[in-house]
Amino acid sequence: MSALFEPITLRSLTIPNRIWLSPMCMYSAASEGPETGVATDFHLAHLGSRAAGGAGLVMVEATGVRPDARISPWDLGLWNDRQQDALARVAALIRQHGSVPAIQLAHAGRKASTGKANAGGGPLGVEDGGWPVVGASAIPFDDGYPTPLELTETQIAELVEDFASSARRALAAGFQVVEVHGAHGYLVHQFLSPITNHRTDGYGGDFAGRSRLAREIATAVRAVWPADLPVLFRVSATDWVPEQPSWTVEESVLLAKELQAVGVDLIDVSTGGLVPRATIAVGPGYQVPFAARIRREAGLPVSSVGLITEPAQAEAILADGEADAVMLGRELLRDPYWPLHAAKTLGVKADWPEQYGFVVAR
């Protein structure tokens, strides 16, 4: 039996294999009028094809819990009925192909209100369809970016409820897994790291203060999510900024333990994204050691991501106990049928969609 194709059960949900589609923004949602943030036919085709291609779990991209939470005007949202109904079609199609539908809920914080990343990105002014941004502290992301408004404690409480409200909608839309986005320099990560969190109230200072928002959001989401379905949390295990106080893998281990205590079932381990010019040692599987350490020291399941491209490589990560699942991003963009090709490479029987199978089997 291949470790990559062994089912995994989180709570009562069994996911058919350990190859999962990583959430990736497609900048293809409607951006104006009553359809703002609504998934389009592109999302249906894009996500449905990865389910048909054999991914065990298909996760919808970072989805804003409120209008100003989106990274860009072209990102998905989940704060109204139209958005919920459109995403229900996506979740149903994913399940139809035998995969588990998942969704990542997010707030971009100081990295919100930008142009499409695939068109150069950069901050968008209000006159160009953008909006004022908020953050843990009044520290801009980079030169030329706006200074965020520091969130008040009242606004933080409202934000926590926004995550819970979007989780309720995700459940009503048919999703079986929800993930809180706490990585890549977005709002929750901005609270976690001392680089971006200079607060002097109960949400700043030491680890307990900086991690408070992460715990409160995870607790609120868990409270509205069914007890038999899993909650995930994505973390950047390091800021890659060793020359100054920053978020570290040691603190990521501590956070994982605290999140497990409030009902999080798996930590989705990535790195970086907080600052624009970190020095990152990129190479095949370069983030796997962080996942392995969190798994080993925190004692809960993890997924790993980052330049995992070959079936034998992914198989070894799982067989060696470094992760419980692999999140594939670019590789599943290149080849939606990577899981089925990997099964053949590893000698595992896997069924192609019946519409294709009779041709592929020749």
| pLDDT (tens digit per residue) in 51-83 | 999 999 999 999 999 999 999 999 999 999 999
pLDDT tens digit sequence for 288-324: 999 999 999 999 999 999 999 999 999 999 999 999 9
- Residue 118 domain-assigned (yes or no): yes
pLDDT of 362 over the 60 cut = no
CA angle 278, 280, 285 (to 5 degrees): 150
- Residue 306 domain-assigned (yes or no): no
What confidence score (pLDDT) does residue 119 get? Answer: 86
- Residue 285 domain-assigned (yes or no): no
- Residue 336 domain-assigned (yes or no): yes
pLDDT tens digit sequence for 146-173: 999 999 999 999 999 999 999 999 999 9
Q: Are strands 13-15 and 8-10 parallel, antiparallel or unpaired?
A: antiparallel
Residue with tokens 């809180």: 180
Catalytically annotated residue among 186, 286, 337, 356: 186
Residue 227 belongs to domain spanning: 8-278+332-360
Query: In whole angstroms, how far apart are CA 135 and each of 72, 107, 283, 303, 351?
Result: 16, 10, 31, 27, 47
- Residue 117 domain-assigned (yes or no): yes
User: How many independent structural domains does the chain possess?
Assistant: 1
CATH number at residue 270: 3.20.20.70
pLDDT tens digit sequence for 194-238: 999 999 999 999 999 999 999 999 999 999 999 999 999 999 999
Structural tokens at position 172: 């009503």
Is the pTM above the cut of 0.95?
Answer: yes
pLDDT of 41 over the 80 cut = yes
Could you confirm whether 186 is annotated as catalytic?
A: yes
Distance CA 315, CA 322 (A): 10
Q: Phi first, then psi: what are they for 200, rounded to 5°?
A: -115, 5
- Residue 313 domain-assigned (yes or no): no
What would the mean pLDDT of 268-274 be, rounded to a whole number?
98
Helix (H, G, I), strand (E, B) or coil at 293: helix
- Residue 309 domain-assigned (yes or no): no
Residues listed for the chain: 362
208 alpha-carbon distance from chain centroid? 23
Q: Are strands 231-236 and 100-106 parallel, antiparallel or unpaired?
A: unpaired
- Residue 288 domain-assigned (yes or no): no
What would the mean pLDDT of 355-359 be, rounded to a whole number?
79
Q: What is the sign of the dihedral through the CA atoms of 344, 347, 351 and 355?
A: positive
